[in-house]
Amino acid sequence: MKYSGKEWTWQDVAHKIKFTDKPISHSLIRFDSSELDKLACETFMCIMRYMGDEPIRRGETITDAVYRLLLICHKNPALRDEVYCQIIRQTTNNKSNKPDSSIRGWRLFSILTAYFESSLALRPYLINYLAENADDQRRAYHGTAQLCLQNLNQTMRYGGRKYLLSGMEVEEITNGKILKRQVYTLPGGNKKVVNTKSITVVEEAIRELCLELNIRSPSEQQEFCLCYVLEKDNRTEYCANDDYILDICTELEHKRVPFHFLLRRCTWVHPLRLDHPVYIDVMFFQVVPDYLQGSLLTRQASGHMSASVCDDVTKLAAYLHMAANEGQRIAVTPRTVQTIVPAPVLEYPSPSPDSWASRINRQLRTMNPNTTATQARAAFLEILSTWPLFGSTIFRLDAASFDGRALPPVELAVGRTGVKLLEPRSRDVVEHWPYDKVDLIRSIEQICPPVVGLLTSI
């Protein structure tokens, strides 16, 4: 191989990959562009400043050095291999007189691998370098090298982090802290803490939370989604499975928007399993608001409920009352009725709250007074799961057409058996399409999670 009119020698190659305590005057990889060559020298200075081998400029911090390095790589993909070669050089046989230089170099390496892939040409060499350092426990930084390898594999799978990490995250990584104890909320308000890495994506967080519910089947875990709730206006946004958790945190924290993560079940193909108390609580507290709003109710053509639905509503109200008053013999009052019977059921000409209170109290007298809250919630779910609309996500369509004809306002229910169009008041099924008859489902951002979409072609 020719270079500047002379043959490469082993000494030349060794010199290129050997640690240096001096800035470089040209890129390690030859570029035709003088601008890229200049930027390569700047990225090397950023690396040296972070590692402590060059002083930080006045008014700046090591976070600024990291930001500048990431931004250059983001805007100039051609430089990513160059930067990887630079960081390999600075972590190879590091002879710096700065005690933290070597470990900081490896920690910066872990940041880079969380964001960017290398080219296909460099990839085998990059992976081999990381694997050699990770697999040899005699090497001082084999653990961080292993982390770099994990980060790189995650980046190749999910595309890498999309947002600049926060100054706090830079500081924590610099100090060797690689896990964040991120809080996730379950329906009902219970909170779970999951150790979250820089590269943790939403589907991994869902998997960890599902294990807390004793859900171990990957296919059943896919029925859950992660949301974040904007606390100021109580608005819920759904996260894509390949979103990075800390990207979401960084974006919202930068906007100073209070939020919390919430796990939800978004499809209901698998049957209920009432064998775990946390699972029961999560399912119960998720469906109760929809039930009390009347979203799951069906009516007869006359607008009245059938006798069997009335019986179910009575039992469901009794179980709601028992779940809220475990171990107490408290009678249901007309005021209590409004918190345990769906709002549409109490509308005229339905029976009055007094009539419902009498009916529910009679039902309570037939039940075991020693029923626990968990048992009451499980019984509630068992009854409700027999309803046709249980497990459905329902959207109101102000305008819709089918077979070329315009339809009056209808509701779209995406549930266990497929997609249904419903008459809004009676909840009669206008049309029903099993999933194997649906040609195309397109997700509607801002309205529903990616797993639920509006029918666009049948």
Domain residue extents for the chain? 2-174, 179-265, 277-384, 393-457
Residue ranges of the chain with per-residue pLDDT less than 70: 1-16, 300-303, 348, 439-458
What is the pairing mode between strands 2-3 and 393-397?
A: unpaired
- Confirm whether 2-174 and 179-265 share one CATH topology: no
Identity of the residue numbered 312: D
d(CA 382, CA 376): 10
pLDDT tens for each residue of 87-97 = 999 999 999 99
Q: What pLDDT shows up at residue 445?
A: 41
pTM here is 0.85
Q: What pLDDT shows up at residue 453?
A: 33
Q: What pLDDT shows up at residue 430?
A: 78
**Given 3-state DSSP classes, what are the helix, strand and coil percentages for the chain, each rounded to the nearest 5?**
45, 15, 40
217, 268, 279, 383 from 221: Cα distances, Å: 6, 11, 12, 23
**Span 179-265 CATH architecture:** Roll (3.10)
What is the pairing mode between strands 259-265 and 179-185?
A: parallel
Q: What pLDDT shows up at residue 348?
A: 64
3-state class of 230 per DSSP?
Answer: strand
Helix segments in 182-306, DSSP class H:
202-212, 218-221, 245-254, 277-293
Contacts of 312 (CB under 8 A, 6+ apart): 383, 384, 386, 387
Q: For residue 423, give both structure tokens.
A: 């008459």
Which of these CATH numbers, 3.40.190.10, 3.30.1600.10, 2.40.30.170, 1.20.80.10, describes 277-384? Answer: 1.20.80.10
Q: What pLDDT shows up at residue 393?
A: 81
Class of domain 2-174: mainly alpha
Contacts of 154 (CB under 8 A, 6+ apart): 114, 199, 201
Q: For residue 198, give both structure tokens.
A: 């820089």
pLDDT tens for each residue of 260-295 = 999 999 888 899 989 999 999 999 999 999 999 988
Question: In this structure, what is the dihedral angle of CA atoms 332, 336, 337, 340, given to the nearest 10 degrees?
Answer: -100
d(CA 210, CA 279): 9
Q: Which DSSP symbol is given to 437?
A: G
Q: Tokens 């193909």 map to which residue?
A: 269
